């Protein structure tokens, strides 16, 4: 392919990545976690903002960078849904470009096209590029880490001081971005030591990152979570760890909108729900099995160009070690391990996949149909991600928490004599969409209120209002979901329910 034509194809890939990440950016409501992004970037100064973050004893405390960046971003571009999410969209496009140049440096032009195409259409990447959460920023930082580190694993006689310095800087920035990034950086270091076995080079590349990252390492090691990993407030569901592992790889490879909607998987009939999607899931299993077996075969084959094979070994080691370290982290913290908690796994995965059918150096007349199966599987994976993106954009079953519709309902149906109470959810989002009247009465506030049950406490909070709208977000996580209506029934009669994705509003009237 001529150079001009090649870079035209690269340009098209970047345009596709821009389109997918900015398309319908404000179509869905901000959801629960995005409400925390707003709340943690609401301060009037960066000092106040940082104080709010580090004083919150929850997972967000250990990923402060995004909220500081969002604070400045909002001050320049405003508070619209598009403006708030566009930061992640821009960073998502940056990750595509970084992966392209990494693959180009390590493997060459064909490989770079494939890897950048995979991440460009990746449903996992697109979802978090449309989410006002830290993960697009973290993927971008780790992709830059890998780009600068690629100078360590390529044959290049030029001076590497600048790449080493930049690698150290972005490793330190990543450590400020999230404690999870330290897991990825540790995996790069371990893989570097295991595959290349050069102590002098190891020290050259890793002394600067350790020195630059030392303030954040001290912060994490001196935090309460270091002595008691379960002390930090995070979501813990108690699922078998194998379920989390399967879901992590499924989510990274095809996104969570490829198969059944997640809300349906919380149904008691979830097995029947899964069986209803058996064609999609069977295709997924076949495609991933083909890619996995082709990768194993590729890694075991002796190659004349050991440079590419060593790179494959490095990225495979990076994938395995970062997965195992994250597994240990999940077991220690008992966190509900989700694809986003392993965001960095997408980098070695997307870089490795083209190695299943490239760099085999067979003569053209010896290429058989069997040797093309991994390429067909990769094309199928791309199409599966396109399908997943389409479902995410167009199918309401895959929508995020719809605070926007909930507030619209309240404003249309709540008169002056009625009151509304948020028992479980994100109050910042109610205010964002224009509802400043709803009373926030979460579990920790109700514990110190008078009253023997939820009904009496709601009555006290609303000054004995005759009509009460009770708002609950993500009811499946709420510990009182099974007793809530019974406790309300002493004083109130349920008149109706309204629901949207992950949102419920109950309308109660006081008994006479």
Within this chain, do residues 356 and 372 fall inside the same structural domain, yes or no?
yes
Rounded to an integer, the average pLDDT of 174-197 is 97
Report field, pTM of the whole predicted structure over 0.75: yes
Residues 257 and 360 placed together within one structural domain of the fold? yes
Looking at residue 305, its pLDDT comes to: 58
CA angle 498, 503, 509 (to 5 degrees): 40
Q: Tell me phi and psi for residue 508, to 5 degrees.
A: -115, 145
On the question of pLDDT at 365 being above 60, the answer is no
Using the predicted structure, report yes or no on whether residue 360 has a pLDDT greater than 50: yes
Domain boundary among 369, 398, 427: 398
The rounded Cα 82 to chain-centroid distance in angstroms is: 19
d(CA 507, CA 421): 11
Predicted pLDDT of residue 345: 99
Last residue of a domain, one of 374, 398, 422: 398
Check: CB of residue 359 under 8 Å from CB of residue 303: yes
Across-strand partners of 493? Answer: 509
Please say if the pLDDT value at position 361 is more than 60. Answer: no
User: In this structure, what token pair is assigned to residue 312?
Assistant: 């494959």
Let me know whether 455 and 367 are in one domain. Answer: no
For the chain, give the mean pLDDT.
93
Instruction: Measure the CA–CA gap between 488 and 465, rounded to whole angstroms.
Output: 14
Q: Does 459 score more than 80 pLDDT? A: yes
pLDDT on residue 1 = 76
Return the DSSP state at 345: G
Nearest to 44 by CA among 11, 10, 74, 13: 74
Is 471 found in the same domain as 378?
no
**HSE of 186, CA atoms in CB hemisphere, 13 A:** 14
Could you tell me if residue 201 is left (phi over 0), alpha (psi between -120 and 50 degrees) or otherwise beta?
alpha
Quick one: 340 and 438 in the same domain?
A: no
Percent of the chain with pLDDT over 90: 82
The DSSP element (H or E) to which 335 belongs, if any, is: none
Q: Over range 443-461, report the average pLDDT.
A: 94
Predicted confidence (pLDDT) per residue in 322-336, tens digit: 999 999 999 999 899
> Do 394 and 423 lie in a common domain?
no
* pLDDT for res 232: 74
* Same domain flag for 266 and 159: yes
Residue 136 near residue 128, CB atoms below 8 Å:
yes
Q: What is the pLDDT of residue 368?
A: 64
Helix (H, G, I), strand (E, B) or coil at 499: strand
Supply the pLDDT for residue 267. 81
- Do 379 and 325 belong to one domain? yes
The residue segments making up the domain with residue 389 are 3-398
Quote the number of domains for the chain. Answer: 2
Residues 388 and 338 in one domain: yes
Is the domain of 324 the same as that of 348? yes
Q: Above 80 in pLDDT, residue 22?
A: yes
pLDDT tens-place string over residues 291-334: 999 999 999 886 655 678 999 999 999 999 999 999 999 999 98
Q: Is the pLDDT of residue 364 over 60?
A: no
Q: Are residues 385 and 450 in the same domain?
A: no
pLDDT, tens digit, for every residue of 232-270? Answer: 777 776 778 999 999 999 999 999 999 999 999 888 888
Is the domain of 125 the same as that of 151? Answer: yes
């Amino acid at each position: 392919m001529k150079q001009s034509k090649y870079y035209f194809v690269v340009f098209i890939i970047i345009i596709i990545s821009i389109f997918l990440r900015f398309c319908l950016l404000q179509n869905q409501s901000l959801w629960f976690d995005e409400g925390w992004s707003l709340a943690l970037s609401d301060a009037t100064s960066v000092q106040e903002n940082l104080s709010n973050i580090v004083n919150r004893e929850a997972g967000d405390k250990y990923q402060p960078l995004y909220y500081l960046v969002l604070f400045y971003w909002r001050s320049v571009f405003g508070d619209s849904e598009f403006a708030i999410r566009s930061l992640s969209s821009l960073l998502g496009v940056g990750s595509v470009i970084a992966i392209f140049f990494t693959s180009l440096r390590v493997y060459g032009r064909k490989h770079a096209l494939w890897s950048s195409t995979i991440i460009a259409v990746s449903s996992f990447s697109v979802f978090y590029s449309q989410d006002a959460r830290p993960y697009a920023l973290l993927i971008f930082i780790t992709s830059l880490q890998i780009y600068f580190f690629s100078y360590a694993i390529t044959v290049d006689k030029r001076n590497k001081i600048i790449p080493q310095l930049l690698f150290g800087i972005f490793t330190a920035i990543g450590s400020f971005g999230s404690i999870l990034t330290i897991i990825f950086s540790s995996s790069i270091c371990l893989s570097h030591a295991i595959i290349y076995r050069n102590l002098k080079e190891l020290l050259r590349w890793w002394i600067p990152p350790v020195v630059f990252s030392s303030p954040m390492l001290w912060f994490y090691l001196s935090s309460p979570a270091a002595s008691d990993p379960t002390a930090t407030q995070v979501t813990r569901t108690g699922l078998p760890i194998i379920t989390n592992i399967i879901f992590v790889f499924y989510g990274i490879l095809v996104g969570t909108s490829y198969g059944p909607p997640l809300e349906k998987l919380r149904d008691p009939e979830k097995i029947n729900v899964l069986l209803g999607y058996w064609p999609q899931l069977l295709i997924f299993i076949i495609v991933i099995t083909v890619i996995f077996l082709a990768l194993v075969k590729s890694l075991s084959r002796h190659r004349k160009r050991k440079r590419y094979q060593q790179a494959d070994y490095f990225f495979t080691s990076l994938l395995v070690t970062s997965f195992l370290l994250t597994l240990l982290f999940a077991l220690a913290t008992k966190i509900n391990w989700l694809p986003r908690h392993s965001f960095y796994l997408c980098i070695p995965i997307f870089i490795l996949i083209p190695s299943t059918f490239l760099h085999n150096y067979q003569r053209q007349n010896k290429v058989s149909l069997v040797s093309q199966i991994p390429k067909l599987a990769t094309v199928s994976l791309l199409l599966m991600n396109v399908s997943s993106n389409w479902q995410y954009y167009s199918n309401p079953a895959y929508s995020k928490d719809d605070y926007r519709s909930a507030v619209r309902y309240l404003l249309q149906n709540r008169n002056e004599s009625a009151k509304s109470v948020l028992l479980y959810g994100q109050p910042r989002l109610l205010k964002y969409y224009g509802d400043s009247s709803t009373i926030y009465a979460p579990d920790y506030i109700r514990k110190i209120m008078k009253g023997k049950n939820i009904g009496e406490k709601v009555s006290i909070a609303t000054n004995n209002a005759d009509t009460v709208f009770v708002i609950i977000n993500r009811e499946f996580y709420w510990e009182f979901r099974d007793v809530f209506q019974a406790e309300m029934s002493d004083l109130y009669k349920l008149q109706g329910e309204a629901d949207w994705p992950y949102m419920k509003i109950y309308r109660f009237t006081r008994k006479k």
